[in-house]
Amino acid sequence: MKKNNPFLESFQNTKQQIVGHGFRSIQILKEALNELDDNEESDIYGSGNFIENFQEKMANFLGKESAVFFPSGTMAQQIALRIWCDQKGIKKVAYHPLSHLEIHEEDGLKVLHSIQPILLADKNRMIELEDVLAIDEDISCLLLELPQREIGGQLPTYETLEAISSFCREKGIKLHLDGARLMEILPYYKKTAAEVCSLFDSVYLSFYKGIGGVAGAILAGEKGFINESKVWKRRHGGDLISLYPYIVSANYYFDKRENKMEQYYKNAVELAELFNNCHSIHTIPHTPVSNMFHIHYHAPLEKVSAILIAIHKETGIGITSNLRSIDEEVCYSEISIGDQYSKISKENLHKVLKLLNESMLAL
């Protein structure tokens, strides 16, 4: 949905929101910067305290030898796959049909790196061990996205992950984690980040999803791999003279929200149940395994949009800022829980859901 449409506007005019950490105003950056002395020195082309200390902190957190800060995950992941492909001499990787690389990056991986992706599994479900066992071509790397965002944030069982990891190690296939939302799945798996990452050769983590920073990403792995990624970072034009605006905010909100992921996850489970009790609505997954899920409305987008606008206006509480058609009969919203959810009283929350249920019944 584009800006300046009535639906998005109605969301932006709400006083409280069920989803997210609040609007992305410049206050987010100001708050992080205000913690610091004015004279703190900028990083310069990858050197300096801000970037070096944060990279070390993230390497430790992820249980990897080394880490490097990137302006974007798009850049970090293409580069990770390129390094693994160059190392093996095979320009093929495997990932899910709805991987960020496949649908959101204008084919950068193919056009800039001449890497051919092999799409695993049906697009409506997770990659399972069987899909990996069935790969009948030589590949350099398998990328797993945890959780799989475009299908509501689903996860394989941890046993499946372990089995895929073992298989890849045996076969000399590098395993890369698209961990944009890694923090958000740790409570469900009941694992530390380092435990999950130990199954992977390389890991990417984003700082503006559950963590809620301004932008930026970390790529982590062995020292040689990370050193090579810095050369590619420069080639891509990502070795900026100063990345501190992103690093400072990543660090600040990481510290602030690292321990709130359990709460977001529980909130998501609670909220999904409320949606599932509404007429002609179900969530995917039925029971969330992270802070996110999708709401599927069994009604045309125009009608659901009108319902949501009315609820936003009547209650002053925003349900979602996004609404997309699946077909003429069904549309969906992506829900990500953050700090805002717990600011809404149970009474108001139930009022919103009651209105939604009644409106869907009345269609």
What is the contact surface with a copy of itself in residues (CB under 8 A)? 3, 23-30, 33-34, 36-42, 44, 47-48, 70-76, 78, 105-108, 111-113, 208, 214-215, 231-232, 234-246, 248
Return the SS3 of 110: helix
CA dihedral 59, 64, 67, 72 (to 10 degrees): -100
Burial of 108 (0-12, 13-18, 19+ CB in 10 A): middle
* Minimum CB distance to a copy of itself smaller for 28 or for 196: 28
* Minimum CB distance to a copy of itself smaller for 100 or for 296: 100
* Minimum CB distance to a copy of itself smaller for 122 or for 255: 255
Residue with tokens 């005019």: 13
User: Using an 8 Å Cβ cutoff, are 223 and 68 in contact?
Assistant: no
* Minimum CB distance to a copy of itself smaller for 213 or for 285: 213
Q: How far is the CB of 178 from a copy of itself (least distance, A)?
A: 14
Q: How far is the CB of 257 from a copy of itself (least distance, A)?
A: 17
Residues 46, 47, 49, 54: is their CA dihedral positive or negative?
positive
Helix (H) or strand (E) holding 265: helix 261-276
DSSP assignment, residue 154?
B
* Minimum CB distance to a copy of itself smaller for 200 or for 246: 246
CA distance 144 to 163: 13
Q: How far is the CB of 303 from a copy of itself (least distance, A)?
A: 27
Q: How far is the CB of 103 from a copy of itself (least distance, A)?
A: 12
Q: How far is the CB of 64 from a copy of itself (least distance, A)?
A: 21
* Minimum CB distance to a copy of itself smaller for 44 or for 134: 44
Beta bridge partner(s), residue 218 = 69, 205
Q: How far is the CB of 255 from a copy of itself (least distance, A)?
A: 17
